[in-house]
């Protein structure tokens, strides 16, 4: 989201799990390059962060509520007209279907169609299934309820794999599970600052 905002794009971030305060601090830290610890402790650091973020921050729209329906998503899309929609997490959006597999299938289709309707790129975040536990390289079958339309609705799927050893070293493996854009796949290691969700090729 920070990278997209820096590029002048408007981002709608819909969250239904993490506290809004934590998400906002991470974003401010990424936009301003000021450590989260300083933002938490010092009011001056927060003011400086807003100054550094500048107009990028005003292209950021956070919708945070525990219960979200597809209609809520569509309303926000119509109101804000973002370039990018981030839905975190898709599995927590409520839809009326008889079972979980049908729910997730419908959600994946609704999010894709909403993006098409509003000419926006949609990014859905979800947790992997049990088969991904302790694995570094992930595939489409490691997505929760992978027999539904979640993989089918995606043009690009990125899996984040980790073992306990890699977690202790702040490392993750990014896998390109699906790529309809270039048809290129593979996996590569990265380092992650989990507090700021900053991903880099080398340790911080």
Q: Do the Cβ atoms of 26 and 196 come closer than 8 Å?
A: yes
Q: Which burial class, exposed, middle or buried, applies to 89 when counting CB atoms under 10 A from its CB (0-12, 13-18, 19+)?
A: middle
Q: Give per-residue pLDDT as tens, 91-135.
A: 888 877 777 667 777 888 888 899 999 999 999 998 888 889 999
Residue 151 in tokens = 């993989």
Question: What stretches of 65-118 adopt beta strand conformation (E)?
Answer: 84-88
**Residue whose C-alpha is closest to residue 11's, from 195, 180, 24, 21:** 24
DSSP designation for 143: B
Report whether pLDDT(147) > 60: no
Residues 168-178 as b or e (16 or more Cβ within 10 Å = b): eeebbbbbbbb
pLDDT in tens, 47-102: 999 999 998 999 999 999 888 888 999 999 999 999 999 999 888 888 777 776 67
Q: Which residue bears the tokens 């929760």?
A: 144
Calculate mean pLDDT across residues 163-185.
93
């Amino acid at each position: 989201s920070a990278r997209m905002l820096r590029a002048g794009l408007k981002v709608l971030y819909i969250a239904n799990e993490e506290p809004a305060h934590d998400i906002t601090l991470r974003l401010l830290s990424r936009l301003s390059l000021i450590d989260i610890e300083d933002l938490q402790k010092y009011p001056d650091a927060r003011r400086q962060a807003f100054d550094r973020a500048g107009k990028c921050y005003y292209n950021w729209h956070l919708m945070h509520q525990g219960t979200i329906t597809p209609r809520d998503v569509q309303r926000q899309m119509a109101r804000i007209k973002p370039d990018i929609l981030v839905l975190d997490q898709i599995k927590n959006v409520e839809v009326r279907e008889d079972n979980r597999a049908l729910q997730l299938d419908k959600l994946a289709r609704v999010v894709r169609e909403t993006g098409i309707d509003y000419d926006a790129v949609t990014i859905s975040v979800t947790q992997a299934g049990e088969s991904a536990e302790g694995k570094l390289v992930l595939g489409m079958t490691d997505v929760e309820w992978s027999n539904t339309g979640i993989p089918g609705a995606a043009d690009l799927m990125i899996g984040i794999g980790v073992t306990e050893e890699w977690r202790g070293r702040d490392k993750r493996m990014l896998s390109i599970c699906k790529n309809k854009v270039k048809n290129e796949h593979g996996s590569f290691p990265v380092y992650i600052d989990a507090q700021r969700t900053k991903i880099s090729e080398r340790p911080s």
